[in-house]
Structure 1
């Protein structure tokens, strides 16, 4: 039996569990993102892992942090394999926007301990292994596990995210002209909004009042801009419907590992516009547009010139790129091979 341990439930974690359940027996245990509840959850998790220990063959964790300390400790003591999927915040240090596990003393210690003492690290992108950050000149350039933990010796294997090309499809309907969508949860918190680039989305909404912008994911977030539609978290079918109506997807994040929504929207025929962080430029390739630096003038110029582009060709190319490079079955095959 594999114990799958995560800090909070998310759609991409659920997708991995569904991917693996036909092959393995999996029990999913969630931790907490609430710092005030940490002592209680440490005790609760210790009891859970102790009870399940005789049945456990290995631990699979998404992200490193407080929730991986006890599984890694158990792995070392009881000779169980512990695999950590590195997703983003656990391989980044961006103090300007208060992002990344390395900005807090004890979270940093928990993250480093977990990565140093686990059996295998599975980042979702090469940028999380070692990268040079150039999007914002005021942030540290050296990012990724090998920069942040220079003496890290644990084996690393990158496995990209994969997407269901049978579900996320472009139904070829006519798109609403110059309609832009982005998905971002938790953006009612200021630093989360900055991480997801919502400040830039709102600036573009002000600059282009005839264009429409949709933000999905946080019912608490507010704006008075008339051309911005705010939607709460939606199920996958509802999100797919928004993608199929929208012409462009905005991924203007300050930091990302491998953004799932970007690839899913591309499969639905959205033309991608993304920031030059993480794996975004490799996902988009030549099928969309990259904002090289966090610069409003650059972004304004990019949006202004969209009318001059062959948008229909980009629509088709973006869908095909994700089908070819980031297929669900490829990730499934690689994960199963690692866990077998």
Structure 2
């Protein structure tokens, strides 16, 4: 709900930061010593902690969730991610489809992980045969990762759609660190089509958008990704999540989660969930997954499915509240919490988005 209102529906003079990768600085004044780029915030040891304190982020990713109802959707995602189709346990070759001989090791590893006496995976997903296509992709991903590791060793529907954009520039909240924008590796966006408060008010558009550009429709940042084979993308992921969570705060929907994925140790992925709690940002680990284990990657796929489904629920909730939202902002306009974002070439070609079904 919008802060300060109840709904019936459920729940500067600093240099300009470029929209280009690496958040390069375009000098416009002589105050360089006081400038911190988003890249510095993500990579230097001391600056992220100072900045996190300034914008009320708890920088420690929590490994357990509080026992309160708001975390039930996250627990449900954890549960659904470990529930596989029953036919995987029976080693049904016909339902799995053709498996190339070079992928047999990954197929066997998947079967073993599911059939192991102490397996954490259950088989209660009914007749979801469409999963076979995802599994084939997972086998190829495992094989591709193995080949890259070997190479390194030798050489030393529109309403229901989610958008995935690469290299999108996100706004950051105002703070003493003076970072204005950050470039996300990848962003999953929820298009809120025909959301009247957004379509009718230019001021609302500027304030409500977490993107440095101003899109035609409200795009709600739902999940961010940082896939890096060498560097740990955790800090950059946190920057991206902060942008998304401040968008939630501006819109008064602080009871909605934002998700972040980052890669570490070259072959590990971690999904995290962020939420406003007691006027502070908290981030929790949802799960970790290995690029070398097919069962683990299938778990990752199901977790992403759950995240996408939750995003559609969030979008429906926001659309249902549009009329009440429109009425509320007449007396209480949105508060702009963003840093100044005078960025050149905001409307540059960002490339065709990838649609996630």
**Range into which the TM-score falls when normalised by the shorter chain:** under 0.3
Q: What TM-score do the two structures reach when normalised by structure 2?
A: 0.23
Q: What TM-score do the two structures reach when normalised by structure 1?
A: 0.24
The structure with higher relative contact order (CA 8 Å, sep 6+) is 2
Structure with greater Cα Rg: 2
